[in-house]
Structure 1
């Protein structure tokens, strides 16, 4: 009984530490890195967009560092490398509300080189979250209201803005629209019955309208080099919500498999694009069924390309002949000592000692891959120190306190009484363009 209580206490402490540093890094980055860049918005919007993307890309490694160095979660990535300079659409199944947070670790190991500019399509209410929502506004994430007439205009303005300033990015879309729960699965079953489709149990039937619009508009604007299909699986512990993380319930392993499709290989017609997406989700259902039976994405269960879709392969990072277009690119873990009690309340490492290692069967990977551990630790140190410096500054400096209050009030106003900072950025660009044209 005492051991069980101690195990739960360890889980709670780890959850609180993880969430504290995660949220602290966002708030400190917002005040000390983002807000000083605000004057650039009025001087050079393209430079502002580039610098904020660099800051966000640097932060994205921090959740990966916390997950792997602090918690000991293994992140296993297979398939095609993500080319960071691709102007791309990324689609992914939505198993849990926290997929996006674990995705940072997957992207970190999949990107060659370590750089990318991901913009997520999120529900509009997320922009109100203090700190996190404001940072995502400053990074020009795409907020939708689930009313297509309004959402279409939002997406159109953002994509046209990226085109006009010559900004390349990768847009992440969850076509299912929500995470997989008993309620959402029931609604998916009802949809399947109404349209004479088979029932899915590992994924939900995808919504096609947003996907079709993004593909067509990005293609029209010259912003679609590729579409990446990512499948995520959790073979053991599955945290479903933020409260699970707060209580210290972390996955022991997170598996990703990635398939790259050249933008030119996708069909052009609306109905054909809908069918393409539906077919990808059918393959994804089969892939995940095999995954949960075996515990890994192996050669026979990787989301393969449709044999009817000829295209050039992405850069693969494995020298084996494991699969033509989907080969193991990375299997890396930074972990604490293994659990001394596998069935502890949170199934988590119980020691502070940290070790870095690669699976020996992947020693043929390029040498820069072996620097991932160093990057994780340096990132962990940088953002953790920034958290403490920000906290010290807030507590001791009246100047920093006034600076914080000023910027927080600005973003509270923008979030609740306007359409957000990201909308202001686009409107400001259009206004400047009209003035110059005049």
Structure 2
């Protein structure tokens, strides 16, 4: 533990020296390593020291737990935002319609890289920092096993999917119902293409296009319409959807499509994200919903083709808002300072205090056991919430 404490302290010091005294291209690999280390340790320690003590609320007061967990997870999400934009100098051009955090919605976005969700947080922060507390992402199920970040997203009740529709249907049904009954308004980010645009996925998309007489896409994958329609129908059934937002993301400079590139200190020069809002009445029901998504992706392909081959600029959609590329305020500074200092203090406490070691062990055992026996902490909280709801319904039926 002393070694980890010294390593993290050294990396933080070198990172700050690099930011203030070296040119952007110097110590590139160190920047990448520092980013991964800081994100990993802050998420791991934050989950253990901030989220774990509040877990009893998930049984005693489920709505209060949801409120607290969402805000703590959102506060941590601001940390990688601060690192990416404030420390590493990535610029963000965010345009289009404002996402309303007070209304439940679906966000659909093209999936150019495996890290689109990471860069999308900065865009949401620019629009409205509170969106980091109300956005829920659909992710590949293995990501929940990442110590720290995966456990935090499970506590945030993100949607982890196996990319198998029959397996994913009951998960979506339970979680959408949970969102609705929690009393919170969430915006669910769905990658309609099902996976990121890697080489293998592109070839499979081309094969699908050839088989079905569709054009080959170079900048997006053909969307998987069944999952989108099912989610729409589920949210309508729960009366838990007001809007659908179409998000288009594109990159200037380096396209960071793998964690390995990130580790090497590679970041895009600028991230472009444009938002177009569609009210529920604008989207056809039934089979028309799937056709609507297909047409939307055809338009998205044309937009991205123009972006990458002509001007590297997305024309603003909808209300044509354009947020400043430089994020003002002290939010990034406060968040960066808190997570670096708190992480160092927590590591020091683990090293020096026996009772803290025991506490940390209990927290780790809980999250690992949740994965082993319940498929993740989110299902522990779902089970508790459903058990309390069922008991409440039974008691109410008796009194009636």
Would you call these one fold, judging by a TM-score over 0.5? Answer: yes
**Given that residues 124 and 144 in structure 1 are in contact (C-alpha distance below 8 angstroms), is that contact kept between their aligned partners in structure 2?**
yes
**Given that residues 235 and 295 in structure 1 are in contact (C-alpha distance below 8 angstroms), is that contact kept between their aligned partners in structure 2?**
no
Rounded to whole Å, the distance in 1 between the matches of 2:141 and 2:87 is 31
Rounded to whole Å, the distance in 2 between the matches of 1:69 and 1:430 is 42
Rounded to whole Å, the distance in 2 between the matches of 1:404 and 1:148 is 37
Q: How does 1:1-20 map to 2 (within 5 A)?
A: 10-20=27-37
Q: How does 1:47-86 map to 2 (within 5 A)?
A: 47-86=64-103
Rounded to whole Å, the distance in 1 between the matches of 2:154 and 2:132 is 20
* Cα offset, 1:436, TM superposition: 2.5
* Cα offset, 1:116, TM superposition: 4.1
1:413 to 1:298, Cα distance in 2 relative to 1, 3 A? closer
Equivalent residue of 2:240, what SS? coil
* Cα offset, 1:113, TM superposition: 6.1
**Which sections of structure 2, spanning at least 5 residues, go unmatched?**
1-22, 395-400
Task: Please report the RMSD computed on the Cα atoms of aligned residues, expressed in angstroms.
Answer: 1.8
* Cα offset, 1:402, TM superposition: 0.9
Partner of 1:388: 344
Equivalent residue of 2:256, what SS? coil
1:40 to 1:62, Cα distance in 2 relative to 1, 3 A? same
* Cα offset, 1:167, TM superposition: 2.5
**Which sections of structure 1, spanning at least 5 residues, go unmatched?**
1-5, 305-324, 335-371
Partner of 2:382: 426
* Cα offset, 1:214, TM superposition: 0.9
Partner of 1:141: 158
Equivalent residue of 1:332, what SS? coil
1:421 to 1:331, Cα distance in 2 relative to 1, 3 A? same
* Cα offset, 1:430, TM superposition: 1.8
Matched, 1:280 2:296: yes
* Count of residue pairs the alignment pairs up: 372
**Given that residues 81 and 112 in structure 1 are in contact (C-alpha distance below 8 angstroms), is that contact kept between their aligned partners in structure 2?**
no
Q: How does 1:154-165 map to 2 (within 5 A)?
A: 154-165=171-182
* Cα offset, 1:8, TM superposition: 7.8
Partner of 1:237: 254
* Cα offset, 1:85, TM superposition: 1.1
Equivalent residue of 2:100, what SS? coil
Matched, 1:406 2:399: no
**Given that residues 47 and 148 in structure 2 are in contact (C-alpha distance below 8 angstroms), is that contact kept between their aligned partners in structure 1?**
yes
Query: How big is each residue's C-alpha offset from its partner over 1:311-342, in whole Å with a ceiling of 9 and x where there is no partner?
Result: xxxxxxxxxxxxxx2413213236xxxxxxxx
Query: How big is each residue's C-alpha offset from its partner over 1:351-407, in whole Å with a ceiling of 9 and x where there is no partner?
Result: xxxxxxxxxxxxxxxxxxxxx342111111112222212211211221211111111
Given candidates 314, 323, 332, the residue that maps to 1:330 is 323
Partner of 2:17: none
1:400 to 1:112, Cα distance in 2 relative to 1, 3 A? closer
Normalised to the residue count of structure 2, the TM-score between the two structures is 0.89
Rounded to whole Å, the distance in 1 between the matches of 2:89 and 2:298 is 32
Given candidates 188, 197, 202, the residue that maps to 2:219 is 202
Normalised to the residue count of structure 1, the TM-score between the two structures is 0.81
Rounded to whole Å, the distance in 2 between the matches of 1:102 and 1:411 is 27
* Cα offset, 1:408, TM superposition: 0.2
Rounded to whole Å, the distance in 2 between the matches of 1:9 and 1:253 is 19
Rounded to whole Å, the distance in 2 between the matches of 1:332 and 1:32 is 34
Question: As a proportion of its length, which structure holds more helix?
Answer: 2
* Cα offset, 1:239, TM superposition: 1.2
Rounded to whole Å, the distance in 1 between the matches of 2:389 and 2:85 is 45
